[in-house]
Structures are given as C-alpha cells and as structure tokens.
Structure 1
Amino acid sequence: MTFKVGIIGCGSIATHRHIPEYQHNEDAEIIAYCDIVKERSDELAEEFGGTSYSDYHELLANSEVEVVSICTPNYLHAEMTIAALQAGKHVLCEKPMATSLEDADAMIQAADNNGKMLMIGHNQRINEAHQQAKKDIADGKLGKIYSFKTTFGHPGPEGWSVDGPDSWFFDKKRAFIGAMGDLGVHKADLMRYILDTEFSEVGAMIETSAKKADVDDNAVLILKTENGIIGSLSASWAYNGQEDNSTIIYGEKGILKLNADDVDTYQFFGADGNIEKKQLGEIQTNDEEGQKNSHTIDAFIDALSENKTPICDGREGRASLNVIIKAINSAENKTITQV
C-alpha cells in the first residue's frame, strides 16, 4: 500500500528531512504541499509534482491525502494536528508536540476519537547506538544504573532555518521555548526511552546569553528518575565549532558512551577492564551529510503499514514535553520541581 502524503509547513525541517525521507520510502507518495509563504509550496509542487496550498484547511479537505507531516512553528502544532486528525488523516508532528500539556492532551484525544495514528518526531529513539543501549540496559549489561550525562548543542538554528536570524525559533510567541524545546526535549525523551523509566524531579538553570532572543539559548537540567537515577541534561544554541549530541551512562558494571565519538558511536568501558567499541551508524545532525540518518519517516510508515503503535506516540511525546515544562517551572521558581 502506498500512503498519500501532505506536507504542512515547507521550511527547513520539511525540505531537509521529511520530504527526502518520504521520497526514499517506496510506500509513501507526497501529493500536496502547504505553506503560508505560497512560493515555497509552489516551488516544491512544481519540482516534484503535486498540489500547492497556502491554507492548510484546503490541504486537509483533499480526500486523497491520508497522511500529513506537521512541520510548522511550535505554536501551530496542536491546532493543525487536531484539525488533521479530525479530517481523518494520520499525523506525524514535529517536536515539541505542543506548547502546553492541555494542548498535548487535546491532540491525544483527537487521535483516540478519530482512530488515527499520531506520532511525534523524536528521532533520537531510532538511532542505532541508542537502540543498542536500550537493549543492553534492559539485559543488565551495565548492572544498576547510577547516573548519566546527555547533551545536545550546536551554534543555533539561524544557520538551519529558512528564515535565518529572523527565524521563528527566536520568537517566544511562536516557539514557546528555545534550545530546550528545539534540543532539550529530544534528550529528555531519549533518556526516558533508554532507561525505561520516568523522571520524578527536575532542577533547571536557564539563560539567554548567546542570542538576541526572548527564549532560552542555554539550559542545564538536573534530573532524578523514579528509581533513583540522577543525571544532567544540557541543551544549547551556543556550541560554536562542533555539535555535541552525546550521552554517557554510568552503571555498576561499566560506562556506556553513545555518539561521543565520530567513528565508534557505541563504546562500552567495563569495570573489569573490557572495552567494546562499535560503529553503529551516525546520529542525525544539521550538517548536509548528517541529514540522511533519521529514519523517522520509515518508522512512521512502518507503523502505519503494520497497524502498530509508533515508536513515539502522543502519550510518549506528552511525557517528554512535561519534563521540559516542569524544568521551566523549576527555573522560574528557583526550586526543585516534581515532574
């Protein structure tokens, strides 16, 4: 079965990731593009074929469209996702899934009420090294887990966004949160996934020090899980010179380093002196060569084809958003916050 796809929002995340990934999936065909700047959707429709829209409601009224990707600024995610689900479309929504827990709940309810799939684009779950780590931890390779450090930082979205320094990423009304929403929510989701547990407490320090913006560009979170694992999460738009997308997990039987090395993306240093290194594929980056490593669309289409729960459904996306929202509360109130 070939799923007919509509793209809502034709900026960088769509043109660099969603569109090429759909094009490489033999079970998907993009037939519609929509952007408020219609020249963008016009160009894509002319280049690849399909219909161009400037009003997403018109795209959703196209009965041929079965699946949509929501690739718009954060504040539009809930509105557009709910409308798409109510129109009978399956939805892949970019992260963070919403700008409030209430909106996230409404999105989940819309998916349930209409019997349609909602997947959130937390692609770090799909990375090979992260998949291996999840399996190894579940199998007891590290023994009891004590702590972790996870980081996601790069120079900022102005080099990535189609609007450059004028990007919506820097506008609180449209973005809601900055580096924490762009990068930190990925790592909150990843640690929940790998450790297979929920966070119970968060303490956060958040700053805007590197960009002319009214959202955060540097954040450091201290997190504690329900079963007593403590760790740190850093998200930054001020890592100039080299992106850092690494995770280190400290356990009873050794240390696991994930995507901390450009070649050996999986490294295990055993307490007994044993060292294990594997090349398990590269993590996706904003660099041109790093665009091909997501497999998010493949995971979405596979879930649709097999009628199974996607790797990150709405409830999982909400739980990860909740961590970030509680981190904001922690920073504002200067106190440890219950998650």
Structure 2
Amino acid sequence: MSKLRIAVIGCGSIARHRHLPEYAANSKVQIVAVCDIVKERAEEIGGQFGARVFSNFEELLLEAEIDAVSVCTPNYLHAPISIAALNAGKHVLCEKPMATSQAEALAMIEAAKSNGKKLMIAHNQRFVPSHVKARKLIETGEVGKIYSFRTAFGHPGPEKWSADGARSWFFKKEQAFIGAMGDLGVHKTDLIRYLLGEEIVEVASFVETSAKTNSDVDDNAVCILKTESGIVGTLAASWSYVSKEENSTIIYGENAILRLEEDPIFSLIVQYKNGENVKYELGKIQSNEEGGQGSSHVIENFVTSIVNDTEPVISGEEGMKSLQVILAALESNETKQIVKPGTKSVAK
C-alpha cells in the first residue's frame, strides 16, 4: 500500500513537538507539504522534512497532492481550515479546542459527513496509560459507584511553549477566543467524560484573567461539573502555576480512590477502602516540561482510522461534546447561573 500523504497546516510548537515528529516516525505516512503564514517558519520545517512549502492554506489544498491534513493553527482558524480541507476531500486531524462555537463544530462534523472523510480532534489525554487503566477499573466496577472527582491542569503559561513567546496568539482573544480553559480546561473536560463514561449535564464556573498582564483571555478558571448520573466534581485550569506543571486527577469511588498523575514515579495509585494501596508505574504523562515529550498516540490513531477505514477514536462529535462544556463554563461565568452544556439554557 502506498503511503498516506500528509500536510501540516501551522508550523508552531504543537506541530514541531507533536505532529511532525510523530508523522515522521510513522512508516505508513509521508509528510509532503507544510504551511505557515510566517514563510520563514514554513521554509525551515519544509527543509527539515523534505516537504513542499506554502504560506496560504487554500493554495496548499489546491496544489499539493495530499490525503490528509493536521490543523495546528490558532483556535479561530480551526473550523474554517478544517471545513475547507474536508470539502477538498482530505481527512482532518484538528487540534483542540476544535472550534470557537457550537455552530462551527457542527459545520465541521457536517463537512466530514457529507464528504465521507475522517475528522479527529487531538485530545491526547485519552491515550495516557494511567487514564486508560483508570477507565478499565471504573468500567469493571472495581471502584464501585463514583461519588466525586477533582481534576486540574496548570502551568506558568504558553510563553515558553509557544513559538511566539509572550507575543503569542494564545493571549489574543480575536485569535484564541479562550485562554487557559481552551488550552488546558478542554483537555480535562474530555478526560472526565472519557474516564466516567458519562456526559456532563450542568456547569458552574468562575473564569478570570488575573495572572497575565499581556492578555485579554482567561488565565484562571475553576468549574463545578455534574454528570448525568449525579457525580459532582471540580475542574481547574490555570496559566498561573508558576513552578511545576500540574496535570492530575482524583476519582473518589465507593470502594477506592484513584490518584492519577500525582506521584512522580507511580502514575496511578489506587487506595482501597480496606487500606490496601496498589501503585502502578505506567510511564510519564505527556507534558511541556523537560522529558515529557513522549508519543501522544494521536497521530498513530488518526492514521490507523484512515488506513483501516474506522471511526476516529475522538470523532468530531466527541470533540464537540467536550467543547460544549467549555462554552457552558464561559456562559456560567457571565450569567452567574448553572448552565446545561449544548443547550444555551440555565439549569433549574
């Protein structure tokens, strides 16, 4: 079988650290084109991977012979570029958050459906070994009834991570739409949905800008989430954790407490009701810190879905459900009401 021809649109940090090296390591694909509005950036990456260079995504879609694209651009371009690529007959892997509104997300899903192409959203936390193991423990009933959860994702901010540093699009509302909640919070809404196997039906939140003087998007958020079976918990997303990155989750169950990514060695610790502790050393979670750049498994799963013609693990519909929770959090903060995701209605 001939190799899948891949184009990467947007050559910033997420493309450089995740998409490009993981495509390059995959024997089933070939990187044939790259695109960035900063031409020098695209030329550098193109030279590194032997790919054609574009500074306009529309030209790339017209001229490059490709099968699929990764969309690694600022958030406000996720939907328009993904839809254009799908309409051009290309499979799409889009970075998170998938869109800036529910209407955009629905349009992406419809474009994939009407063109018979794959649309996958890059929520990599579903592939973290400790998260996969925790989901199995919950699914098998070993943890018993789930009562509550706490999940947090925070670091000092995108200044060191983003290709443009403190001048990054991450801090500009017209390009990012949303700050720490879009960068980090949406990862955790997707993770909680994945772990519990339930939808979040009510959201209350405080979403603030308190740490960054160069920004007009949120940098600190705390949310209370309630699932369809009545599980309640908290989610925190922040760009104000000035020292070590935090990326942990605790699940409180009837028979055990699951501690995920709290310990530097044991990525999952199960504390049973009878006093027994079981510690799992499953490998490090992916992070922006030194030594935290292992495979995300996102590229691998996207490629597999195309080669085997199967539904992507994180489909457009799945990406939209996680986005809806974030949109509900924004609405809750504005209205000071509890909001039902996906409905534009206040919970009674």
Fold agreement, TM-score > 0.5: yes
Q: In structure 2, what is the equivalent of residue 209 of structure 1?
A: 210
1:3-82 aligned within 5 A: 3-62=4-63, 64-82=65-83
Deviation of 1:102 after TM superposition, in Å, equals: 0.1
Secondary structure of residue in 2 paired with 1:76: helix
SS in 1 for 2:159: helix
8 Å contact from structure 2 (residues 305, 311) kept in 1: yes
Deviation at 1:328, TM superposition (A): 0.4
Q: Per-residue deviation at 1:79?
A: 0.2
Count of residues in correspondence between the two structures: 339
Aligned to 1:177: 178
Between the aligned partners of 2:92 and 2:17, the Cα distance in structure 1 is: 19
Asked whether the 8 Å contact 1:206–1:218 carries over to 2, the reply is: yes
Query: Which shifted more, 41-50 or 326-335?
Result: 41-50
Classify the secondary structure of the residue corresponding to 1:44.
helix
2:344 paired residue number: none
| Conserved 8 A contact 1:283-1:293 | no
- Report how far residue 59 of structure 1 moved: 1.1
Give the partner amino acid of 2:119. Answer: L
Cα distance, 1:147 vs. partner? 0.2
Unaligned runs of 5+ in 1: none
- Corresponding residue for residue 126 of structure 2: 125
Quote how far apart the aligned CAs of 1:261 are: 1.1
Cα distance in 1 for residues equivalent to 2:296 and 2:167:
26
Cα deviations across residues 108-146 of structure 1 (Å, max 9, x unaligned)?
A: 000000000000000000111111111110100110000
**RMSD of aligned alpha carbons:** 0.9
Residue deviations 1:162-193 (CA, integer Å, cap 9, x gap): 11000000000000000000000000000001
Q: Give, in whole Å, the separation in 2 of the partners of 1:17 and 1:264.
A: 24
CA offsets, 1:231-287, max 9 Å, x none? 000000011110000000000001001111111001100001121111112111012
Partner of 1:290: 292
Cα shift at 1:288 = 3.9
Which structure 1 residue ranges, 4+ long, deviate > 2 Å from structure 2?
A: none
Residues 74-130 of structure 1 deviation map (CA, whole Å, 9 limit, x = unaligned) = 000000000000011000000000000000000000000000000000000011111
Cα distance in structure 1, aligned partners of 2:202 and 2:318:
18
Query: Residues of 2 paired with 1:231 and 1:62: CA distance?
Result: 49
Pick one of 304, 313, 316 that aligns with 2:315.
313
- Any conservation in 1 of the 2:61–2:88 contact (CA below 8 Å)? yes
Match of 2:345 in 1: none
* Structure 2 stretches lacking a partner, 5+ long: 342-348
Q: Corresponding residue for 2:197?
A: 196
* Residue 62 of structure 1, CA deviation: 3.3
> What TM-score does the superposition give when structure 2 sets the normalisation length?
0.96
Supply the distance in 2 between the matched residues of 1:310 and 1:194 (Cα, whole angstroms): 18
Structure 2 residue 340 is matched with structure 1 residue 335: no
Moved more, 145-154 or 36-45: 36-45
Judged with a 3 Å threshold, the aligned counterparts in structure 2 of structure 1 residues 159 and 63 are, in CA distance, closer, same or farther, namely closer
Identity of aligned residues (%): 56
Shift of 1:45: 1.3
